[in-house]
Structure 1
Amino acid sequence: MTENAPSATDTSLRFLFDEADLRGEFVQLDSAYRDILALHHHSPAVSRLLGEFLAAAVLLATTLKFEGKLILQARSEGQIPLLMVECSSELELRGIVRGAEQATAERFDLLLANGQLAITIDPRRGKRYQGVVPLDGDNLAQCLQSYFAQSEQLGTRLWLAADGERAGGLLLQQLPSQLVTDSRQRDNFWEHACTLAATARDEELLTLAPAELLHRLYHEEALRLFEPRTPLFRCSCSRERTFGALVALGREELESLLAEQGAITMDCEFCNSRYQYQREDLAELLQGSPEPPLH
């Protein structure tokens, strides 16, 4: 498992409008984003796309009250057959892109042509939930907004940016009516808040301090800022988990692999960690008593 200490610019900040039923989240990724990019070769366009997925995963994970992880998974017939990002409730991030080495397109619709986006909520306790939406927008933010429009009654808007060095994003979401009960007034404020958010340039999402950006956008509104949290890159792979995958192979297939290769090697796609098992490591498993080796 690979861990990296985050810099001060890896930040997720929640905020509330004191006079409206509206919440927001702002995220900036710096070292967490670069640490993930450093593990594999990506073109600039793929790096930007992965950054937007990472920022979106943090924004969406913060809207949920659960312990577990949120998974964004895009499958397509384009140059990127699979892009997957995970964000835990502790804001631990990891991500992979398959086909990145050959991808040359710049446009979202070519990289992820004829694709689908699956959003999976995987709680540590309780049932898994998954929603799927076509990747038929011009960018990831549009596709996510289509998902929320289909599955949620509360308005949700996102703005995402990435440049290969930093990734950032802003989310606004309506809350159930409590402070403002008049529907017209509620809709007007929602449009007002979204119109102001849309004025934020990509460069500002990536470089301005969170409090500075929110002041620029909403200095005439009463905002309540919460304690910022720190997203970071951390892979959840382990020797015990890879051993579990070997258990599923069965004794005959393990014997065949050992005879052919001498040892069995398992590589993590997310962090490039390598786990190797010699015959003696698998002795109990081969004899029918699967206990994972600790070394």
Structure 2
Amino acid sequence: MSDFSQRFLFDDTDVRGELVDLEQSYAEVLAKHAYPEPIAQLLGEILAAVTLLSDILKYDGLLVLQARSSGPLPLLMVECSSDREIRGIARYEAEALGEARSLRELMPDGVLTMTVDPKVGKRYQGIVSLDGETLAECLSSYFAMSQQLPTRFWLNADGRRARGLLLQQLPADRLTDGDERAASWEHLVTLADTLTAEELLGLDNETLLYRLYHQEVVRLFDAEPLRFGCSCSRERSANALVSLGAADAAQLVEEQGGAVQIDCQFCNQRYQFDAADIAQLFAGGGSSEPSPTRH
């Protein structure tokens, strides 16, 4: 299994952790577009981040992280469904990229929006400024400022593998004394801060946890698989055309030389609709491709 997340618990204190490892799905995201190295790395980090977040948030639907900025990287967007399918995309300005490599250089004045879009119920949205040195630092600051459970992130990617580590303090159970809880949390975080990028990207989970916490009692749970998946479909593209109305959709077909082409930005899948398809849509015939025999 090359793409998975794995939960672990510290038995003697109220802290849980998550580890994520992305290879195949990361490769599939990068294969859709020719990204420069620093953007491919940041895209890998945010893919790992959305996966870690999906493991600690309860939802049935879609979790979206979208970063926008005024810099050479104006858009990063990744999604993780409750079915554990991930996808992502970056939009960058090649002529403005120059020597920019860090988060601040790539996304100055950046803002990260986290959206939980459930199948049933209301959407939830949180916003954090991208004013830290790294994406992991920005996400950790968001949890600190939002008065949620203390949560820390460590993220790295190198264009081939994207990895993430998360620690989260749980409500008081094993440790009820405030000073003891604070000391335990600080101890575990301080040890995680010693982890190098090379170690996070190069070690398997068991070895990594032993490297950090061989003096702690740690339970590592079974791995949960992840995969690349795109939610685009011919039906969803057809619904977008229906929302235009019959007259505007027909005019669009005419303006584009007899067929409308809708391309998915995430997976490059192309959906084509000609005049017969449009007529079928508005006649209630659905979005399936009509017979090659036209009448």
**Does structure 1 residue 36 correspond to structure 2 residue 29?**
yes
Partner residue, 2:53: 60
Q: How far does the alpha carbon of each residue in 1:141-179 deviate from its partner, in whole angstroms, 9 at most, with x for none?
A: 111112111213311000010111111010000001111
Partner residue, 1:281: 277
Asked whether the equivalents of residues 250 and 278 of structure 2 are also in contact (C-alpha less than 8 Å), the reply is: no
| Pairing 1:140-155 to 2, within 5 Å after superposition | 140-155=135-150
> Structure 1 residues 200 and 100 mapped into 2: Cα distance closer, same or farther (>3 Å)?
farther
SS at match of 1:228: strand
The one-letter amino acid paired with 1:282 is I
2:103 aligned to 99, 108, 127, which one? 108
Deviation at 1:90, TM superposition (A): 2.5
Deviation at 1:290, TM superposition (A): 6.7
Distance of 2:59 and 2:93 partners within structure 1:
32
Asked whether the equivalents of residues 75 and 91 of structure 2 are also in contact (C-alpha less than 8 Å), the reply is: yes
Partner residue, 1:50: 43
| Pairing 1:240-255 to 2, within 5 Å after superposition | 240-255=235-250
Distance of 2:279 and 2:161 partners within structure 1:
47
- Taking every aligned residue pair, what percent have the same amino acid on both sides? 52
Q: How far does the alpha carbon of each residue in 1:28-55 deviate from its partner, in whole angstroms, 9 at most, with x for none?
A: 1111111110110111100111010001
SS at match of 1:282: helix
* Most deviating of 199-208 and 177-186: 199-208
**Does structure 1 residue 264 correspond to structure 2 residue 257?**
no
2:221 aligned to 223, 226, 231, which one? 226
Deviation at 1:134, TM superposition (A): 0.9
Partner residue, 2:133: 138
- 4+ runs of 1 displaced by more than 4 Å? none
Deviation at 1:224, TM superposition (A): 1.4
Distance of 1:194 and 1:61 partners within structure 2:
21
Report how many aligned residue pairs link the two structures. Answer: 287
TM-score (norm 2): 0.94
**Does structure 1 residue 239 correspond to structure 2 residue 229?**
no
Deviation at 1:203, TM superposition (A): 1.3
Distance of 2:181 and 2:197 partners within structure 1:
28
The answer for unaligned runs of 5 or more in structure 1 is 1-7
Asked whether the equivalents of residues 72 and 94 of structure 2 are also in contact (C-alpha less than 8 Å), the reply is: no
